[in-house]
Amino acid sequence: MDRAPTHDAPDWLVPDALAGVVDLFGWLTPTELRRAVDELAFKRRETVEADTVAAVVDDAVDAYVLVSAPPAAIDEDTTEGGLMAKDTPRHAGTLRDGDQPLAVGPVAFPTLPEGAVDLPHILDVDPRTVTREALADAVLERLSDEAVASITADDPTRLETLADVTYDLEAWAAVDVGRVRDRIVAELDDS
């Protein structure tokens, strides 16, 4: 799957690099991920516009490199102000409205951008956990819904991509994707 950006992002800011950053923590909200990218850019004496970061995140989510994590899949350890402070007990707060946690998805090849290993210390974020089973169930549901929408829209290009994702998803987690893949392949064979 081609993961080259379709926008003007620095060469180090690609979906798999975002997956590497998210993997350091377990999960991050988009706001937290934006802060992490800002720190990495600062180390390079660069600035990256918020729209550019948002576009790369969108690309990563679209490609299943990053996936939205449902509440059942995350260890919620953020406060209303954003990142958890070092002395804040785990589960002390709630996520801000609309700040959907992101986790590493089935298509990711997480790579760490230079300087990323310092991010947990810089951002004062403890490791977080993701329950793979709950995350996989949410990804399978999204994949199924997207397959139906792509079939309805008669979008064979997206269906080809989704067919590839089914194989990655099965390798990534213990889920049966056979029915979804069979439906996608049948639709592709008919077109």
Distance of alpha carbon 71 from alpha carbon 131, whole angstroms: 10
pLDDT tens across 61-102, in order?
999 999 999 999 987 554 333 444 433 333 333 455 467 899
- Domain of 112, in residue numbers: 15-130
- Domains identified in the chain, total number: 2
Residue 96 located in a structural domain: yes
Torsion, CA 71, CA 75, CA 80, CA 81, rounded to 10: -130
Q: Which residues of 114-127 are buried (b: 16+ CB within 10 A; e: fewer)?
A: eebeebeeebebee
Residue 37 located in a structural domain: yes
pLDDT of residue 134: 95
Q: Which two tokens stand for residue 127?
A: 């490791």
C-beta of residue 61 within 8 angstroms of C-beta of residue 85: no
pLDDT of residue 100: 85
Q: The pTM is what?
A: 0.85
Closest CA to 64 of 120, 141, 174: 141
Q: Are residues 160 and 185 in the same domain?
A: yes
Q: Are residues 153 and 180 in the same domain?
A: yes
Q: Are residues 110 and 152 in the same domain?
A: no
Residue 10 located in a structural domain: no
How distant, in Å, are the alpha carbons of 71, 76, 85, 86 from that of 90? 15, 8, 10, 10
Residue 3, pLDDT > 80, answer: no
Q: Are residues 36 and 97 in the same domain?
A: yes
Distance of alpha carbon 187 from alpha carbon 23, whole angstroms: 35
